[in-house]
Structure 1
Amino acid sequence: MKLKLILTVLMVVSSTVTSDDYVRPQPRKTIHLPWDSKLSSFPQQVHVSLAGDKHMRVTWINDDKSAPSVVEYGKLSGRYDAISEGETTSYSYLLYSSGKIHHAVIGPLEDNSVYFYRCGGQGPELQLKTPPAQFPISFAVAGDLGQTGWTKSTLDHIEQCKYDVHLLPGDLSYADYLQNRWDTFGRLVQPLASARPWMVTQGNHEVEKIPLLKDGFVSYNSRWKMPFEESGSSSNLYYSFEVAGVHIIMLGSYADYNVYSNQYKWLKEDLSKVDRKKTPWLLALFHVPWYNSNKAHQGEGGDMMEAMEPLLYDARVDLVLAGHVHAYERSKRVYNGRLDPCGAVHITIGDGGNREGLAAEYITPQPMWSEFREASFGHGELKIVNSSHAFWSWHRNDDDEPVKSDDIWLTSLVNSGCVDQKTS
């Protein structure tokens, strides 16, 4: 009884809004996915992610401790001419014990190609497509997903767009200490996440820390391993990767970020290695937005912005994507709170479909740096056409149809004369 009371209190605290109160429209109901009765060794919750040049990581879970951690794969259905052995982990969380979590890196893989694969020597054959090696490349973007009817709409709409990589700026399952909700989330997203790489970073709903009992991010780090080691990071909470002429930095809003922190030092080193001739586009993702004119979570990103925005500005980051606020907003190019032609465009897209509903109230008057804002569920699509131009569009979930409500052509800072003007 005591344990149940503690968990109830923790969940209430975790979902409490720390900024001004606002009225949320009613969210759709949470999806309930009953556990199926397949064999204990049957692979479940399969998802793939990029893992260095021409390699991908396949992750899955089963309940058989003797099941092999292997992935068989090839370019023809039913014919696997390669096999990779992976690593396994598991974790316990109070009364919950996870299944056996497998991570296996496959490759080298050919670019822009379809591969057929099978996890653990059994189960259904799955297929994935590797990203292209050069432009054009398309990204789907949706944060704060959760497991509601709106989540399902968002995923259905993303499935309709021809994307190469999914970017998720935090708040995945909304398990909030109830670990079986991580399992149902894994099964909910498997159709998409097993077919295209999903690159994620953590949000506040991934913390799940219980003082004196449990460290933070245990579930997230165990289930969603990203290429942090491949990018020279010491933490799964922040890393970078490159794909088809784009360098993408995934930062941790809930990892230390002050100028003396490991994350700050890693970011500075990572940015110093960026070659804009090789990767003319430079993107950054993290959970808590720095530019936010919504009343929800107002000012929460200020400390991280003060520490890290000068680094991103000096490196001439083109586009910053964030979540956390359950609404959509796009800025003009901005730096240090002022319009700046060499600053980044900031997009808040924490409207994937979570159970907490939308953040419907905005500050008035609208700030000069804010270009477009709307409290609706939806997803974004970023198509980088070439080294100089990209097309961004945001698609509202309107009556279960993806309605394009905002779009803009972006010119890379490399082609705007800004990179040659970088400060020292």
Structure 2
Amino acid sequence: GKAPRDATVEHYIQPGALSVSAALAEEVASGNYDSIFHIGDISYATGFLVEWDYFLHLITPFASCLSYMTAIGNHERDYIDSGSVYITPDSGGECGVPYEKYFPMPAPALDKPWYSIEQGPVHFTVISTEHEWKPNSEQYNWIKSDMASVDRTRTPWLIFTGHRPMYTSAAAAVVSVDPVFVASVEPLLLQNKVDLVLFGHVHNYERTCALYNGKCKANPVKDDSGIDTYDNTNYTAPVHAIIGMAGFTLDKFSPIHKSWSLTRIEQFGYVRIQATRNKLNLEFVSSNTRQVEDSFQIIRK
């Protein structure tokens, strides 16, 4: 999301994006980061090109300094008769065209916005939840091939990311889980021993146990520093994290607390990821206070 940096009033602004962008600019200026990942619902321009200008102006202080990697979301792609999986008017008729012009990712072709990259010891598989993902579709076959081809001796960590989540305990009004998507793609995560799954779409922060088929396969234990630690030496299932709290109005959680949901936070912020060959460390940072509100790590001995 976006808001004008000079406090003017514009179409469809998300003021929460101001604190997040300011915090990210400070983080990037430290020189400690290699990339930023923004997994869908990029600018909410919804057909107004000037809104892309506002967004690009907002992110320039940090996006101009390192790689700014993106995934496509419903507000970039979905429209009636556009070929998207979900027949909604969410892109305002953009149908992914401005998005792919402004953010050309290493995808196989136009309107096939799925790709993978490797950074250090991490392989990132980035998908489109808005394009067909059912078994035997082009994207499904690509996902299957990409993850199966990862050399885990060279890049021991596998992170899977896309826009719409497989799990959320948000209030019923904002629940956006497609059971067909889960049934189609989740088995690939387990088969390929995905360590971490990152999604957006729901505007809050939520972290799960090691989760598969709606059930906890393992829970973290606290290390000597009190940090929740998932031991993937004997792999059980991936950890899911929803990180959709970067600017749009926050979504409320359901009063019903799912057993697989370990942490739920309604604050604007972002997630830091640091990886070594033996440890994947994540921290959720509140953009208003700059305080770490949740942290966990995945280890492999």
- Structure 1 counterpart of 2:59, from 164, 168, 189: 189
Question: Any idea what the Cα deviations from partners look like across 1:36-89, whole Å, max 9, x if unmatched?
Answer: xxxxxxxxxxxxxxxxxxxxxxxxxxxxxxxxxxxxxxxxxxxxxxxxxxxxxx
Between 208-217 and 241-250, the greater mean CA deviation after superposition:
208-217
User: In 1, are the aligned partners of 2:126 and 2:160 still within 8 Å (CA)?
Assistant: yes
User: In 2, are the aligned partners of 1:221 and 1:236 still within 8 Å (CA)?
Assistant: no
What is aligned with 2:246? 352
Task: Provide closer, same or farther for how the CA distance between residues 323 and 343 of structure 1 changes in structure 2, counting only shifts above 3 A.
Answer: same
C-alpha separation in 2, matches of 1:147 and 1:156: 16
Task: Provide closer, same or farther for how the CA distance between residues 326 and 261 of structure 1 changes in structure 2, counting only shifts above 3 A.
Answer: same
Report the CA distance between 1:242 and its aligned residue.
0.8
User: In 1, are the aligned partners of 2:169 and 2:253 still within 8 Å (CA)?
Assistant: no
Aligned counterparts, 1:105-120, within 5 A: none
- Structure 1 counterpart of 2:155, from 267, 279, 287: 279
- Structure 2 counterpart of 1:260, from 133, 136, 153: 136
What is aligned with 1:403? 291
C-alpha separation in 2, matches of 1:166 and 1:32: 20
C-alpha separation in 1, matches of 2:14 and 2:291: 19
- Structure 1 counterpart of 2:254, from 341, 356, 362: 362
Q: Does 2:184 correspond to 1:307?
A: yes
C-alpha separation in 1, matches of 2:293 and 2:262: 13
User: In 2, are the aligned partners of 1:241 and 1:248 still within 8 Å (CA)?
Assistant: yes
What is aligned with 1:149? 15
Report the CA distance between 1:241 and its aligned residue.
0.7
C-alpha separation in 2, matches of 1:410 and 1:214: 41
User: In 2, are the aligned partners of 1:248 and 1:284 still within 8 Å (CA)?
Assistant: yes
Q: Percent identity?
A: 30
Question: Any idea what the Cα deviations from partners look like across 1:372-423, whole Å, max 9, x if unmatched?
Answer: 0011111111111x212122110123xx3212111112214xx4xxxxxxxx
What is aligned with 2:193? 316
- State the one-letter code of the partner of 1:391: N
C-alpha separation in 1, matches of 2:200 and 2:150: 25
Aligned counterparts, 1:165-184, within 5 A: 165-184=35-54
Unaligned runs of 5+ in 2: 83-91, 219-235
User: In 2, are the aligned partners of 1:351 and 1:379 still within 8 Å (CA)?
Assistant: yes
Report the TM-score, using the length of structure 1 for normalisation: 0.59
C-alpha separation in 1, matches of 2:135 and 2:123: 22
Answer with 1 or 2: which has the greater Rg: 1
Task: Provide closer, same or farther for how the CA distance between residues 272 and 361 of structure 1 changes in structure 2, counting only shifts above 3 A.
Answer: closer
SS of residue in 2 equivalent to 1:287: coil
C-alpha separation in 2, matches of 1:208 and 1:254: 7
Unaligned runs of 5+ in 1: 1-27, 35-145, 416-424
Task: Provide closer, same or farther for how the CA distance between residues 406 and 207 of structure 1 changes in structure 2, counting only shifts above 3 A.
Answer: same
- Structure 1 counterpart of 2:265, from 366, 374, 377: 374
The CA RMSD measured in Å over matched residues stands at 2.5
How many residues align? The count is 267
C-alpha separation in 2, matches of 1:214 and 1:190: 26
Question: Any idea what the Cα deviations from partners look like across 1:100-145, whole Å, max 9, x if unmatched?
Answer: xxxxxxxxxxxxxxxxxxxxxxxxxxxxxxxxxxxxxxxxxxxxxx
- State the one-letter code of the partner of 1:325: V
Report the CA distance between 1:211 and its aligned residue.
4.5
What is aligned with 1:240? 116
SS of residue in 1 equivalent to 2:291: strand
More helix by share: 2
C-alpha separation in 1, matches of 2:2 and 2:66: 27
Question: Any idea what the Cα deviations from partners look like across 1:169-194, whole Å, max 9, x if unmatched?
Answer: 11110101112111221121111111
User: In 1, are the aligned partners of 2:106 and 2:116 still within 8 Å (CA)?
Assistant: yes
C-alpha separation in 1, matches of 2:2 and 2:95: 28
User: In 2, are the aligned partners of 1:203 and 1:287 still within 8 Å (CA)?
Assistant: yes
- State the one-letter code of the partner of 2:250: L
C-alpha separation in 2, matches of 1:259 and 1:33: 47
- Structure 2 counterpart of 1:383, from 261, 266, 274: 274
Question: Any idea what the Cα deviations from partners look like across 1:208-243, whole Å, max 9, x if unmatched?
Answer: 6364896721111121110113xxx77542111111
C-alpha separation in 1, matches of 2:94 and 2:21: 31
Question: Any idea what the Cα deviations from partners look like across 1:257-289, whole Å, max 9, x if unmatched?
Answer: 000211001111111211100110000111111
What is aligned with 2:97? 218
What is aligned with 1:202? 72
